[in-house]
Structure 1
């Protein structure tokens, strides 16, 4: 499981986020997605911690907290939905809209 952290400053780094969450337990991984075209941070990220109890403590303490000039949104991350096969109304069982014929 992981934690979604939203409404982040565009200046946040993985080190900043690790430091903020380390008060609540061991941080295993931090991921900050960037825009493909600009390379700029997208304003949200994900944090994985060692235990669910540590994650729950961090969520309880940090959700709505002011940090780096913004009120953070912190909650359990939802699984990403795979919408590839529904795009355009087509799709085969592998999630590809088109298939090659040989």
Structure 2
């Protein structure tokens, strides 16, 4: 998988269909763990452990200047900070970024 490759699972349809359950399972403030499955110039996408049809996004807007985007495949921890309804993303801030603040 290259940095620009998006995994085929979960499908956008699964993510959309399970959105209400995702929001219920991951309220703001929830600590999460997961794996980086995509990197883009604006942040990293995360497959969240225990919520297989959720897509997490840690964007560079919450990244301190001294921090770096985690590598593809990295295991991360973080906290849910928002739910983006229009594209069904769980916005998060990574623990390693909090430590750099």
**What TM-score, normalized by structure 2, do the two folds share?**
0.22
Structure index of larger Rg: 1
